Chains A and B, each alone.
Chain A
Amino acid sequence: MSFINYSSREINCKIVYYGPGLCGKTTNLQFIYQKTSPEAKGKMISLATETERTLFFDFLPLSLGEIRGFKTRFHLYTVPGQVFYDASRKLILKGVDGVVFVADSQMERMEANFESLENLRVNLAEQGYNLDKLPYVLQYNKRDLPNVVPVDELRQYLNTTNVPDFEAVATTGEGVFDTLKAVAKLVLT
Chain B
Amino acid sequence: MDVMYEEEYNQIQEVVDRLHRDSNAYAVLLIDKNGQEIAAAGEIENIDTTSLSSLTAGNVAATGGIAKLMSEREFSTQFHEGERTNVHISIVASRVILVVLFDERSSLGLVRLRVKKAGNEVGQIFDSMMQKLEQPSQPSIFAEITDDDIDNLFND
Q: Is the CB of A75 within 8 A of B48?
A: no
Contact of A188 among B10, B34, B145 (CB under 8 A): B145
Smallest CB-CB separation from A41: which chain B residue? B50
Contact of A59 with B54 at beta-carbon distance under 8 Å, contacts A7-B4, A181-B150 already known: yes
Question: B2: which A residues are within 8 A, CB to CB?
Answer: 1-4
Contact of B150 among A43, A57, A95, A189 (CB under 8 A): A189
Per DSSP, chain A at the interface is mixed
Report A's interface with B, CB cutoff 8 A. 1-8, 11-12, 14, 42-43, 45, 47, 56-57, 59, 61, 64-65, 67-68, 70, 72, 75, 87-88, 90-92, 94-95, 177, 180-181, 184-185, 188-189
Per DSSP, chain B at the interface is helix
Q: Is the CB of A75 within 8 A of B35?
A: yes
Contact of A4 with B33 at beta-carbon distance under 8 Å, contacts A65-B152, A189-B146, A189-B150 already known: no
Q: Is the CB of A64 within 8 A of B4?
A: no
In the complex, A137→B88 CA distance in Å?
Answer: 39
Q: Which of B1, B36, B55, B65 has the most CB of A within 10 A?
A: B36
In whole Å, how far is B58's beta carbon from the nearest beta carbon of chain A?
6
Q: Is the CB of A3 within 8 A of B4?
A: yes
In whole Å, how far is B50's beta carbon from the nearest beta carbon of chain A?
5
In the complex, A100→B118 CA distance in Å?
Answer: 38
Question: B65: which A residues are within 8 A, CB to CB?
Answer: 87-88, 90-91
In whole Å, how far is B67's beta carbon from the nearest beta carbon of chain A?
12
The 5 closest A-B pairs by CB, nearest first: A95-B34, A7-B9, A91-B61, A7-B6, A64-B153
